[in-house]
Structure 1
């Protein structure tokens, strides 16, 4: 054992790394027969589930921070181009029409913003939706409401509303709504019926239903979705085209028009988008603050756990080492001569 400690002393003198030591509590090894004792060489290499979970949480948090920065930078860039576009539209309105040069400038700015939105991604995952909302997880989605579907208006009788999604396969999706059902109960029924078709369902602050779909589904639903009711919320009989209204305007600058009749509409749309950008940036900043606080909490908790783990390893080593070579004497000797951290000493003794 003395020769082993001498070897470890020379290793500690050149140690420039600090290892984190994790082992099983002493109570888990105390009852094991001598011939079945765990190899002390492997004590420092045992990762606890708690350590693995904390490491995973920190990695996910760092991913969110990075993707949020990309989203914020993209929004700022789009906002600058929107400001330039608005100035050109205002100039065209004062002139009575957009000159060929102004129209070309607006078209160029629109193409630049469209490209910036398409490039707004982190690790091949989009970070902005078409409503210029940040995407913190999953894929970009468009939020919308179904016109005529008022969840706050109670119905005196049960009703089954059948939605035809026209997506192929099981097109007809029935939603059973009970008499006098609350908005929360209605939301649950819609969620159970539509979630498997990729349509999200939630309630807003006004307790009205809000749906969401990915880009491909939104394009399809906005053109094809139909509904059949029982004469209360929706008419009975043949399926009727249902009107979907987005909760926020969608950012589609290349569809904006610069002729005299649509200049004001283009200006209004650009101003709406600038307001949405401001709101989204505020949302991102709050999200980043929340994530950073979580990272700090995890790091503090990890530090506390590391101390516990180190004490557990020291207890295991003190029990395993022969009486003539106590752990405390070996520990203090190595620490004094090599001037290394406590974690490194424990790691060297347990390797």
Structure 2
């Protein structure tokens, strides 16, 4: 046995062409693949209905979580509003105690995250997030520099966010609006946009417009981009607006809206009064969103009920169709079928059974 194996190995070593031919024949053999069985129309329709019902149930569950979160926020805002009003009417240690409690509630609201299956349902301004209404953008400015500042010499800058980078050539002797128009399409590649600026109230000469900055440029980005740039943006310049040399991290300062609880102040009576007005507006906004959420949830529930009713009606029709085929005496039906196929009579079948 061992000799036979060694002989066959020696033959293969002497005749490599035989081995190659054998391998080619094996590769030429068609591989048998089982044909994919197509789903029946009825089963495919059932699967689609299951998918729609499951999607609707997830939507209802998400709306219930969002509703509970908004009601919790409304309770916290009502309590915060009461503390702010009490702080306005008292003084001394009692006022300081009320403000400290208000600051703790403010911090709790600022770090509150309402999510369903790891997806946020409310943004940082207590706005509902949906496919038609995305999260409110983050607004920020660059600390200590102004990219849209007019200069007498052109400058090439490099901006890097995560693994993406863009090179921008800022021309010389251009207005701030023209420089922003140059920056906008390049920054869009990094998921950053430029916020519309308010028109200048005073008129200035063209010479002064080239040497002084009219206003600070504000930038917008979504939550995903903000998580990447909140610690700073890597930039490289040529000494006009950015220091020349190696890349540096330029810090960013977030600009808060009145809807963001982090913007609310408690240091003076004027700030407390403004904070009360902002809390009242936030409560009104949450009440409106709750009504919208309840209306959409009711609509989805009605659609699910119609789907279940349609399924029950379809099942009844199918049972009625199968009822004639499910008689109490299946043996007699089988015998009739055999007699019809064989073209024989009852007497012939009886004689065969005997």
* TM-score using structure 2 length: 0.51
For 2:286, what is the secondary structure of its paired residue?
helix
In structure 1, what is the Cα distance between the partners aligned to 2:111 and 2:63? 20
Deviations for 1:181-226, whole angstroms, at most 9, x for unmatched residues?
xxxxx999766643xxxx8x8999x9x9842216xx7477345236
2:271 alignment partner in structure 1: 265
2:36 alignment partner in structure 1: none
Deviations for 1:149-205, whole angstroms, at most 9, x for unmatched residues?
xxxxxxxxxx9985444xxx63x532889xxxxxxxx999766643xxxx8x8999x
Q: CA deviation at 1:102?
A: 0.8
2:285 alignment partner in structure 1: 279
Counterpart of 2:93 (choices 100, 114, 126) is: 100
1:310 alignment partner in structure 2: 316
CA-atom RMSD in angstroms: 5.3
Q: CA deviation at 1:292?
A: 1.8
- In the TM superposition, 1:106-121 aligns within 5 A as 106-115=99-108, 121=114
Asked if the contact 1:134/1:280 (under 8 Å) is kept, the reply is no
Q: How many residues align?
A: 250
1:70 alignment partner in structure 2: 68
Asked if the contact 1:65/1:291 (under 8 Å) is kept, the reply is yes
Q: CA deviation at 1:286?
A: 0.9
Deviations for 1:290-348, whole angstroms, at most 9, x for unmatched residues?
23212212321332243234323432x246435967xxxxxxxxxxxxxxxxxxxxxxx
In structure 1, what is the Cα distance between the partners aligned to 2:237 and 2:189? 18
99-108 or 300-309, larger mean C-alpha shift: 300-309
Q: Does 2:213 correspond to 1:221?
A: no
Asked if the contact 2:107/2:262 (under 8 Å) is kept, the reply is yes
Q: Does 2:142 correspond to 1:132?
A: no
1:61 alignment partner in structure 2: 59
Gaps of 5+ in 2: 1-38, 143-154, 170-182, 199-217, 331-354
Q: Which has the higher contact order (CA 8 A, sep 6+)?
A: 1
Q: Does 2:149 correspond to 1:144?
A: no
Counterpart of 2:221 (choices 202, 206, 211) is: 211
2:300 alignment partner in structure 1: 294
Q: CA deviation at 1:51?
A: 2.7
In structure 2, what is the Cα distance between the partners aligned to 1:218 and 1:266? 30
* TM-score using structure 1 length: 0.51
In structure 1, what is the Cα distance between the partners aligned to 2:89 and 2:109? 25
In structure 1, what is the Cα distance between the partners aligned to 2:300 and 2:194? 26
In structure 1, what is the Cα distance between the partners aligned to 2:156 and 2:282? 37
Q: CA deviation at 1:145?
A: 3.1
TM-aligned CA distance change 1:284 to 1:117, over 3 Å: farther
TM-aligned CA distance change 1:202 to 1:267, over 3 Å: same
Greater C-alpha Rg: 2
For 2:137, what is the secondary structure of its paired residue?
strand
Deviations for 1:213-261, whole angstroms, at most 9, x for unmatched residues?
16xx74773452366799xxx95775765554345543238x8453xxx
Q: CA deviation at 1:70?
A: 1.0
1:245 alignment partner in structure 2: 255
Q: Does 2:321 correspond to 1:321?
A: no
Gaps of 5+ in 1: 1-22, 29-42, 93-97, 149-158, 178-185, 326-351
In structure 2, what is the Cα distance between the partners aligned to 1:310 and 1:73? 43
For 2:57, what is the secondary structure of its paired residue?
helix
Q: CA deviation at 1:80?
A: 1.0
Counterpart of 1:50 (choices 31, 48, 51) is: 48
- In the TM superposition, 1:320-339 aligns within 5 A as 320-322=325-327
